Amino acid sequence: MTGGNAGIGYFVAEQLSASGATVVLGCRDPAKAEAATDSIRVRVPGARVRAVRLDLADLSSLDAAVASLRVPRLDAVVHNAGVALDHPPRRETADGHELMFGTNHLGHFALTARLMPLLSAAPAARVVTVGSFAAKSERLDLDDLQSRHDYRPKRTYGRSKLAQMHFGLELDRRLRALGSTTRSVVVHPGGALDSLTPSRPPMHVRATAARLYTWPAALLLQGKHAGAWPAVRAVLDPEVRGGQLWGPRRFALRGAPHPEPVWSHLTDTDVASRLWDATRDLCGVDPVGSLTPGSGLPRAGEGDTSGG
């Protein structure tokens, strides 16, 4: 679970822990990770939860993060972590990529490549990518994926989430083509506000004044605890199928999760394929590159970190 120490990611982790799952939080800040795991243990007696250090903005650190998992397999990975900037200037990751695109999209792409042996070792693993409603009105500029020529923070954020969602759907197409039992699902939380979110100190404390001020928004929007439901459903429900898009039922903004039609621009497989190729070149890895047709499993001796 990436980015499980705050916001929607925290509630995904808490709810999965309550279901009996063993949850590993991948977080950049050890102090925040400890606060999140402590909070989950208080609310979920007997919770099996721990944290590993994970920095998606530093691709060279991912091998160590995956090695620190120390597990023979993964039944699911939830790609939730994200960076959102509201104002210039444009910033870059340790690898020289635009910060939001590099963290939200490239980091998860590269992490998936390193986790694929562990996912393939499970009988029916899930890759769950958490997108955003901010991506619905955006379109990718394949000639300027890094926003070097035209940087607008809110648009760049929306495009980074759109790239993530394209990746999640394209990943499932490629896994199916190889006969893999791993499935990739894309979800979004709808409209999730801090002011409608239950307190989880010290990560989040809901002020009474803020709650009263924003109560009309509850007619259309919801808290981040509810925004977590589509991702939790995508992990746990055996009826959820690869290649689906799940979001809230009511106007795609609030309510119980359900499968919704894939947004029209996300059905463009040519854009998704070209994005995949560009991303592979930027990251230097391919999430399905070690899988053999028909088996869906890594070739012997290629990236097998399962130990068994």
Residue 298 corresponds to which tokens in the numbers above? 């890594």
Helix, strand, or coil here: 103? helix
User: 10, 151, 157, 213: which one is catalytic?
Assistant: 157
Q: Determine if residue 152 is left, alpha or beta; phi over 0 gives left, psi from -120 to 50 gives alpha, anything else beta.
A: beta
Residue 135 to residue 127: CA distance in whole angstroms = 19
Residue 116 corresponds to which tokens in the numbers above? 């694929």
Phi (first) and psi of residue 157, to 5 degrees: -60, -50
Strands of the chain (E only): list them: 22-27, 48-53, 76-79, 126-130, 183-187, 192-193, 222-223, 245-250, 254-260
Residue 193 corresponds to which tokens in the numbers above? 């506000």
Strands 22-27 and 183-187 come out as unpaired
| 157 in active site | yes
Cα distances from 15 to residues 75, 128, 157, 169, in angstroms, run 16, 15, 27, 25
Residue 49 corresponds to which tokens in the numbers above? 């939860």
Query: Residues, the chain, total?
Result: 308
Strand partners, 25: 51
Name the residue type at position 187: V
Q: Using CB atoms within 10 A of its CB, is residue 238 exposed (0-12), middle (13-18) or buried (19+)?
A: exposed
Residue 171 corresponds to which tokens in the numbers above? 């990943």
Residue 237 to residue 153: CA distance in whole angstroms = 35
User: Which residue shows structure tokens 């990529």?
Assistant: 97
The residues annotated with a catalytic role in the active site are: 157
